[in-house]
Structure 1
Amino acid sequence: MIFIRKTLFIASLICCSFLANAQNEGKSGDSTKVEKKIDFSVMPFLSYNRNLEMMIGAIPMMMYKFNKEDKISPKSLSGLSAVYTTNGSYFIAFFNRLYFKEDSWRANFFAMNGDHNSQFYMDDVYEPGFYDYGTKSTIVSAGIQRKIFKGLYAGVAYTYAHYDTDYEDDVQPSSTVQTNGVQLNALYDTRDAVYYPMKGNKARVRWISYPEWFGNDETANKILSEYNKYLPMRNETDVLALRFSGKFGLGDIAFQQQVTIGGTDIRGYSEGKYRGDGLMAIQGEYRYNFGEKMGVVGFAGLATIYGSDTESFNWGLYPGVGAGYRYKAFKTVKFNIGLDAAVGKDDWGIYFRIGEAF
């Protein structure tokens, strides 16, 4: 019955998405275009990887201005995502990305509840290989940034997380982990647009601390860094995007806080095999646009990790390469959704995108 209820819920969301899209199409013939206060869109979600298997859901989103007189701030984005996977996982998340006061302030809010059935690799047991685990997660995060001067922002954030994890065959004892993370961050942003930049740079550094005095079992720290560069190509029709990412775990990093190769940093890895305390990755992506609403991308990258329990994984080189399709989700703002397919070292993945990969 639980499965049926989840399936009916998700199916209803997808039906709503098609109805919303049909309504939008029906209005496309209007001779005059009046910018709405709220630009609403519902996107169906369909993806697959070797870990979560088939993923299906829906993502209603809306863009809006805090102040219609504010001509400088980008539009804010709010949305809800509901996803169910055929390996029995589910995720429900609410997200906000806010811009206001002539882009002098930026804020974000994220809340997620889910049951994540996944796997990890162990070689220090009687039978090395993949072992399943299940984690029931609740995560709430909020942050705010203030512009210091043109292009430079600084801010703070707080993240609460609660994890209940059980492991297959008791290869590790069941654990309940609750973390309270305090973040200090700095952002240097010269992009010409936040949702689809054609040129400019984005450099961000975040220091996240999990001190014992703040309710954490162990003291741990993370340093997260990224640098993205965007170069216009083909008479400013296309974009060449370049990225460096570094995630560095310091201290006693819990299993749930470790990083795995995959996702934004390097596509083509979905098994969750390569896990450690930190990683570094470089990546390049060419974004080719044709027509008013469509485009394709091609990308390639290279990653490495450290702090893995499997010593042979540390400091290895892990390539990823792939291609994808893009479709403009909103009428008034260049904001794409899409689908990527990528292959890595003995692995592969298919990714549904909300916005660009970076």
Structure 2
Amino acid sequence: MPRFKSRLTISLLLSSSFFLSSAVSAASFTDPLDGEFDMSEAIAENPYAFLPIPIVLTEPAIGYGGGFMGMFLHESKEARDKRKKLALESVDGGVNLIPPNFTIVGGAATENGTWFVGGAHRHTWLNDRIRYLGAAGYANINMDIYHEFDQIPVDKNLSFESQTEGFGGVQKLQFKVANTNLYLGFSQLWFHTKIGAKEEIANDILQRVLGDDSTSSALGLIAQYDSRNNLFYPTSGGTAKAEYLWYRDGLGSDYEYDTFTLDGKYFIPLSKTWTLGVAGNYQSLTNADRSLPPLARPYINLRGISRYRYQGDYVLTAQTQLMWQVTPRWSLQSFVGAGSAAEEAHDLYDDTEVAYGAGFRYLIARRFGLNIGMDFAFSDDDNAFYFNVGSGF
């Protein structure tokens, strides 16, 4: 049965402006160039102002729900004045400048008891030569897991509703190599979780195999090439990132394994109003302990497919998206993707899952190229819609 709700428009953003500080009430929400609703001035001119982001959850894995997040942009007066001047001169003025530092905080909950709170901060120094990203949060996640346990005599994955409760965070620090688009750096992850299941038999198995709680801790290396013309909604250029993580007892981890992720996105301008986006993602898990938490293994991550529905030690996905800029403010997009998960690399794409859909975006903050909107996605097993900031990739 389709899992769609039928009504969500830009009015959500208008009503959400109630949450803005009263100090921002004098700020204009009308763009001086086209007279359309725009939040650039509100979030740029006042340090307490933020872009309100409603969270609408129809993720099949956790059910219907929602919440709210605020996005605070931090920019120096010099950078702010330069961006404002360029934005008054042309429609896309200021978009190609170095993106401002930003902080996101908020939370959400769903009908099946899942909830989370958290925040993230992105900061750059020395004209974008140093990049830092940090995030932390607390979550209680209830979702269906399809998992194979070596310790029990079954020849197929078990399906059960799991409950993962815990807290943790991630940090990434990258340095630009000379005057290139290449960044090299380090990453750190740390999570402490308690895993259980609502079904008594599945819960007993989890407790026997994984224990009451566990800690996952890793250090890693990152290499990233980034030539996108805009961080939030690129229309040309691309990014390719490779990251290798080591989970080790010496770092405080209860499990030992390695993960490797190769992720790429590229945006090809076909004309002034049409852009083709292509993306690919490869993940592997190697040198692993016999038993790992169900959420540790890679999974197919495509719009329209339930998260953690298809897991394996090797995962490969590919997708493409066609974007049409109908007006300077509104754009439409269609997308299709295919993914495969397998226990061995040579078995990838023996079984393939396909997802497709369409969506729209509204340019909510023209100075920064910030677009928000919704995507409606379909697959053989699930249908869902997503509220997105950015391209959706």
Shorter-chain TM-score tier: 0.7 to 0.9
Unaligned runs of 5+ in 2: 1-11, 34-39, 83-96
Partner Cα separation in structure 2 for residue 305 and residue 227 of structure 1: 18
Deviations 1:189-211 (A, max 9, x none): 11112222111121100001112
**Bigger CA drift: 20-29 or 161-170?**
20-29
Partner Cα separation in structure 1 for residue 324 and residue 14 of structure 2: 31
Deviations 1:245-303 (A, max 9, x none): 101111226222112223xxx22111643122231011001112223332221000111
Which residue number in structure 1 is paired with residue 358 of structure 2?
A: 323
Unaligned runs of 5+ in 1: 1-12
Please report how far the alpha carbon of residue 162 of structure 1 lies from its aligned counterpart in structure 2 after TM superposition: 0.9
More RCO (CA 8 Å, sep 6+): 2
Which residue number in structure 1 is paired with residue 232 of structure 2?
A: 195
Q: 2:323 aligns with which of 276, 281, 287?
A: 287
Kindly report which structure 2 residues correspond to 1:79-228, keeping only aligned pairs within 5 A, or say none. 79-121=104-146, 130-149=159-178, 150-167=180-197, 168-171=199-202, 172-174=205-207, 175=211, 176-228=213-265
Which residue number in structure 1 is paired with residue 300 of structure 2?
A: 261
Which residue number in structure 2 is paired with residue 53 of structure 1?
A: 63
Partner Cα separation in structure 2 for residue 104 and residue 67 of structure 1: 20
Please report how far the alpha carbon of residue 179 of structure 1 lies from its aligned counterpart in structure 2 after TM superposition: 1.0
Seen in structure 2, the aligned counterparts of structure 1 residues 24 and 354 have a Cα distance that, compared at 3 Å, is farther
Partner Cα separation in structure 2 for residue 84 and residue 214 of structure 1: 32
Partner Cα separation in structure 2 for residue 207 and residue 30 of structure 1: 44
CA contact (8 A) 1:64 1:76 kept: yes
Q: 1:165 is aligned with what amino acid?
A: I
CA contact (8 A) 2:232 2:389 kept: no
Q: 2:223 is aligned with what amino acid?
A: A
Q: 1:36 aligns with which of 30, 41, 45?
A: 45
Partner Cα separation in structure 1 for residue 129 and residue 262 of structure 2: 22
Deviations 1:203-236 (A, max 9, x none): 100001112221222321000111211111232x
Q: 2:175 is aligned with what amino acid?
A: R
Partner Cα separation in structure 1 for residue 216 and residue 372 of structure 2: 32
Please report how far the alpha carbon of residue 122 of structure 1 lies from its aligned counterpart in structure 2 after TM superposition: 5.2
Q: 1:257 is aligned with what amino acid?
A: A
- What is the count of residue pairs matched by the alignment? 339
Deviations 1:82-137 (A, max 9, x none): 10101111011101122221111111010110100001125865997631110002
Q: 1:183 is aligned with what amino acid?
A: G
**Bigger CA drift: 113-122 or 63-72?**
63-72
Q: 2:28 is aligned with what amino acid?
A: K
Kindly report which structure 2 residues correspond to 1:318-357, keeping only aligned pairs within 5 A, or say none. 318-357=353-392
Seen in structure 2, the aligned counterparts of structure 1 residues 134 and 25 have a Cα distance that, compared at 3 Å, is farther
Partner Cα separation in structure 1 for residue 105 and residue 376 of structure 2: 24
Partner Cα separation in structure 1 for residue 146 and residue 31 of structure 2: 56
Which residue number in structure 1 is paired with residue 313 of structure 2?
A: 277
Partner Cα separation in structure 2 for residue 206 and residue 30 of structure 1: 40
Q: 2:75 is aligned with what amino acid?
A: K
CA contact (8 A) 1:140 1:160 kept: yes
Any idea what SS the aligned residue of 1:92 has? Answer: strand
Any idea what SS the aligned residue of 2:232 has? Answer: coil
| Structure with more of its chain in strand, by fraction | 1
Partner Cα separation in structure 2 for residue 226 and residue 128 of structure 1: 27
Please report how far the alpha carbon of residue 141 of structure 1 lies from its aligned counterpart in structure 2 after TM superposition: 1.1
